[in-house]
Amino acid sequence: MSSPTEELTTVETAKKLGLLPEEFEKIKQILGRTPNFTELSIYSVMWSEHCSYKNSITWLKTLPKEGPHMLAKAGEENAGLVAIGDGLACAFKIESHNHPSAIEPYQGAATGVGGINRDIFTMGARPIAQLNSLRFGNPKLAKTQWLMRGVVKGIGDYGNAFGVPTVGGEVFFDDSFNVNILVNAMSVGLVKAGETVSAISYGAGNPVYIVGSSTGKDGIHGATFASGDLHEDSHEDLPSVQVGDPFMEKLLLEATLEIIKTGAVVGMQDMGAAGIICSTSEMSAKGRHGMNIWLDKVPTRQANMKGWEILLSESQERMLVVVKKGQEAEVEKIFEKWDLNCTQIGEVIEGERLHFYMNGEELADVPAESLVLGGGAPVYEREYREPGYMAQNRAFSISRVPEPADLKAVMLHLASHPNIASKRWVYTQYDSMVGTINMSSNRPSDAAIVDVRGTKKALALSVDCNSRYVYSDPEQGCAIAVAEAARNIVCSGGEPSAVTNCLNFGNPYNPEVYWQFVHAIKGMSKACIKFETPVTGGNVSFYNQSKNEQGEVPVFPTPTIGMVGIVPDKKNQMTLDFKNEGDILFMLGASQEDINASEYLYSYCGVKNSPAPYFNLDEEFKVQELVKSLIRENLIESAHDVSDGGLFISLLESAMAGNLGFRIDSDEDFRKDAFLFGEAQGRVIVSVSPEKLDAFVELVASGDVDFTNLGEVGGNALVIDEAEYGSVEFFREHYEQAIGNLMSHEA
């Protein structure tokens, strides 16, 4: 947008910038006058959904924030922070970069990775691991394949060059994501307890520096862009997509961690969404001080940038640093060594107002507190009502689905379905071993395991959400996402610690979408309380939908759960691969006559409306506690949860990982499709050596958990009820090559 004249600063201009009429009036009340264009732009980005959470904060405040390891509560810092013992803390966060990735997938995904890593190292933590959660449309579509290629290459190129391993993630496909894909990136870092830095500003006279890259016109009004719908002309918003430089970020990481050690830093914040205005306002509001900022001193990479463009630019690899007066030379010397910009652009002042100048002219004068979440930013409670499709979901009955005549056809369909098949095509483009701390590349487990060097501990990391479950029942589906993240960590030998979330939904002004959001929050709360995994923060991403001749089409609601767990002793790391011929297979947790929302029901049977799968939170918790005990007592050889694809896929994945087949018997009390392909929750498959069978049975029988002897490990075939369905290698070929075969055709 070209800079309009002062006379055009009207309600209409405010509307074009995404502000509601009542918000324009509120701005006039705050300032005591009509805002100029720069001030209007400031409020536009800071009061956008992306920055202010104005339509979500009321419900976010209901999430549990207390836990045994918490060091920083939600919203207090750039990222969550939990104590892991041995004088160390773990900083972690997940965020979305959905709209930029849907328009320019390579840079959109790359800058999402860069931004989330900066949130970690601005706190003084060194990033050690990355994960991601991706949603794409129909993988047979040329556009989906183009988007997927760009996103995966963007994540891989940035992460690989930055030097942090991508250790885990998930990829899910559904037609609801054909236009609006979801790209959620998570970063995890370590810091010595007590050596963190806060995003705060105080101390009148302290200098304010911008460090890192020069500022360009990329990303201007990006926060506003992220707070609206995608449409057929969205490609024209390309200036709202930032451009990343991972090599610059690597230098910025090292320089940042070095200046923290000098003790010269008062506060520091990443310049992400909304750029300079966001960092200056949030740091100032937190420290109850103001700033004078001279925008003409900001290093730029384009000539003749206007003051409002510099102020709102979302150029990457930049930080705002408040330095203790008198230690400027020490800080500047470090950035000079790393060949990075380190320019004083302002100073801290008494009071709580922000003054922005360009060539001696004051462009804006605004109170910091009025701009920020928890301060003067608007807070709304939106109307919500149950979507009409929920009645169809509840009306589903398994009796209306005929049992399959050909079980092997179902098995092959599931093993080669993109939602279940190997994501090798994706993860081979990521460097999972840089830094050599990834402990799960060659020892597959349900969660990613990352070494904490110098201790006997490891971190267990997981990102989880089945979008179809949440669509089927938002409260149950989101509770399942939390439970599955915890189950993955427990099955890997870890103890769940805390959660970060990325809440991806449609338009919050749509009452049916907002109902999904509200009930997902309720489900998350009850599950997080049960597992003692408080929510440390995260990201809300609304407006994930597209427009067509039928109107607005929201994506499947996707409240992605990123969970961190602690493996107290690395020797207790548990893997999912079958180990030995003759080991006995047990299922912990009960089978159910249930195929609800399963991949089998949805894609093989073509039934799109059903409730979420069977889920009982108390039963789930008991199963997880039992698995912890079995691992602690060294009574099992492998553990793998039952999730997408049901019991059959869980057994197949363990068989392929261990190059060993299995022989099991089904339960005649249940339909074969429900027993093999149903996705009822709260179940874990474990293998037990015959020598430990008595001790295993004694421990399991003493608890209050259903368990079933399924059969045993052995051979190279998959045998069910004495019928052979193929070899491990036969299924591996279909499982490993499915996505690669799809993507091998040039789109």
Supply the residues annotated as catalytic. Answer: 50, 97
Give the position of tokens 């959905």.
98
Phi-psi region of 538 (alpha: psi -120 to 50; beta: other; left: phi over 0): left
CB 541 within 8 A of CB 492: no
Judged on CB neighbours under 10 Å (0-12, 13-18, 19+), 231 is: middle
Mapped onto helix, strand or coil, the DSSP state of residue 63 is coil
Two tokens at 645? 């694809």
| 20, 300, 482, 737 from 617: Cα distances, Å | 41, 54, 10, 36
Two tokens at 31? 């300032």
Residue closest to 162 by CA, chosen among 93, 90, 273, 251: 251
In sequence order, the 6+-apart residues with CB closer than 8 A to the CB of 492 are 440, 445, 446, 447, 449, 460, 565, 567, 573, 574, 575, 639
Judged on CB neighbours under 10 Å (0-12, 13-18, 19+), 618 is: exposed
Burial string for 632-643 (b: 16+ CB within 10 Å, else e) reads: eeebbbbbbbbb
Residues facing residue 489 across a β-bridge? none
Taking only Cα atoms into account, the Rg of the chain, rounded to an integer number of angstroms, comes to 26
CB 502 within 8 A of CB 115: no
Distance of CA 86 to the CA centre of its chain: 27
Residue closest to 274 by CA, chosen among 406, 135, 377, 163: 377
CB 325 within 8 A of CB 207: yes
Two tokens at 91? 């900083």
Judged on CB neighbours under 10 Å (0-12, 13-18, 19+), 446 is: buried
- How far apart CA 405 and CA 410 sit, in angstroms, is 9
Three-state SS string across 139-208, please? CCCHHHHHHHHHHHHHHHHHHHHHCCCEEEEEEEECHHHCCCCEEEEEEEEEEECCCCCCCCCCCCCCEE
Distance of CA 648 to the CA centre of its chain: 28
In sequence order, the 6+-apart residues with CB closer than 8 A to the CB of 582 are 690, 712, 713, 714
Work out the number of other CB atoms within 10 angstroms of the CB of residue 358: 21
Phi-psi region of 382 (alpha: psi -120 to 50; beta: other; left: phi over 0): beta
